[in-house]
Amino acid sequence: MAIDTSCGMIEGASAPASAKAQQVLAAASRLFMAHGYGATSMDAIAREAGVSKATLYAHFPSKDRLFGAIIGHRCQRFSQALAAQDADPADLRGALLAIGASFLQMILSEQARGIYRIVIAEAPRLPELGRIFFESGPAIVTRRLADFLQHANERGQTAVPDPWLAAKQLIGALQGPFHMARLVGLIDQPDEAELERATTTAVDVFLAAYATDGAAARANLRQAAAGQA
Confidence check: pLDDT of 164 > 60: yes
Mean pLDDT of the chain: 84
Alpha carbon distance, N-terminus to C-terminus of the chain: 53
Report residue 17's pLDDT band, with 50, 70 and 90 as the boundaries.
Answer: low
What pLDDT was estimated at residue 26?
Answer: 92
For the chain, which domains are there?
3-228 (1.10.357.10)
**Residue 226 clears pLDDT 70, i.e. is over it:** yes
pLDDT digits (tens, 9 = 90+) for 202-225: 999 999 999 998 888 888 888 888
- Read off the pTM: 0.76
Q: Residue 76: what pLDDT?
A: 72
Q: What is the pLDDT of residues 60-84, one digit of tens each?
A: 999 988 988 888 777 776 677 677 7
